[in-house]
Amino acid sequence: MFRIFSIFGNEFNFNAMARTKEFNEDQALDKAIEIFWHKGYNGTSAQDLVTHLGLSRSSLYDTFGDKQKLFVKSLKRYQQQNQESLIQLFENSENIKTTITEIFKQAVLESLQDRITKGCFMVNSAVELAMHDPEIAKIVHDNQKAVEDIFYNAVKKGQESGQISDKQEARSLARFIFNNYSGIRVLARAGENDKQVYDDILKAIFSLF
């Protein structure tokens, strides 16, 4: 920090140093994502955060402000990470339809593998908080639009290259895909672990295009 005081026309420069943080902020945020994802906002106590993040109450509050601010920062980070990996998947994709099926199959795999099925942090937050917290609502809505657009661009590209049937409008298909992705994540969160249920849904989805 660097401060300048001016007293009676004389300037004094103070360049005082402070103790360095003993933890990495991004790593702490990743831990916060984990526990908020698992337990939800209301289900996660300040003590849970202290324990799971491994830093003291004061450090936690000094760094992130309060519980709501930490949650918002976690959710935004999660959003950004997922959005980037989604974009990358389509950038490296040779066949759009195959990539979309891979995305769904991956979601199903996660649902079946995870001993603790967490669903989707964004869907969970939407259901728990969007209605009562405008800031969360905006993040959820922005995410929806962003993901929808990523699917839209992918579908459009797929239709132009003939990989995807153009019987459905690209925008409609993108929204349809997003909707089914949400549904599957809810199913996972609800603890469904019968692979056949997911496979049946995927079969129906991908017979559409």
Q: What residue ranges bind DNA (CB under 7 A)?
A: 1, 3, 13-23, 44-47, 55-59, 61-63, 66-68
> Rounded to whole angstroms, what are the CA distances from 71 to 40, 107, 115, 169, 180?
10, 23, 24, 36, 26
User: Is 112 an interacting residue with respect to a second copy (CB under 8 A)?
Assistant: no
The nearest distance, CB 33 to DNA, in angstroms, is 16
User: Is 208 an interacting residue with respect to a second copy (CB under 8 A)?
Assistant: yes
User: Is 203 an interacting residue with respect to a second copy (CB under 8 A)?
Assistant: yes
Alpha-carbon distance of 204 to 104, in angstroms, equals 12
Q: Which does 45 bind (CB under 5 to 8 A by kind): DNA, a second copy, none?
A: DNA
User: Is 207 an interacting residue with respect to a second copy (CB under 8 A)?
Assistant: yes
User: Is 61 an interacting residue with respect to a second copy (CB under 8 A)?
Assistant: no
The nearest distance, CB 43 to DNA, in angstroms, is 9
SS3 state at 91:
helix
The nearest distance, CB 63 to a second copy, in angstroms, is 25
The nearest distance, CB 198 to DNA, in angstroms, is 33
The nearest distance, CB 120 to a second copy, in angstroms, is 9
Q: Which does 109 bind (CB under 5 to 8 A by kind): a second copy, DNA, none?
A: none
Query: φ, ψ for residue 5 (rounded to 5)?
Result: -105, 145
Residue 35 and residue 44 in contact, taking contact as beta carbons nearer than 8 Å: yes
Q: Which two tokens stand for residue 92?
A: 């490296």
Q: Which is nearer to a second copy, 89 or 127 (CB)?
A: 127
For 165-200, give one letter per residue: b (16+ CB within 10 A) or e: eeeeebeebbebbbebbbebbebbbeebeeeeebee
Residue 193 and residue 111 in contact, taking contact as beta carbons nearer than 8 Å: yes
Put residue 102 in one of left, alpha, beta given phi > 0 → left and psi -120 to 50 → alpha.
alpha
User: Is 156 an interacting residue with respect to a second copy (CB under 8 A)?
Assistant: no
Q: Which is nearer to a second copy, 45 or 161 (CB)?
A: 45
User: Is 118 an interacting residue with respect to a second copy (CB under 8 A)?
Assistant: yes
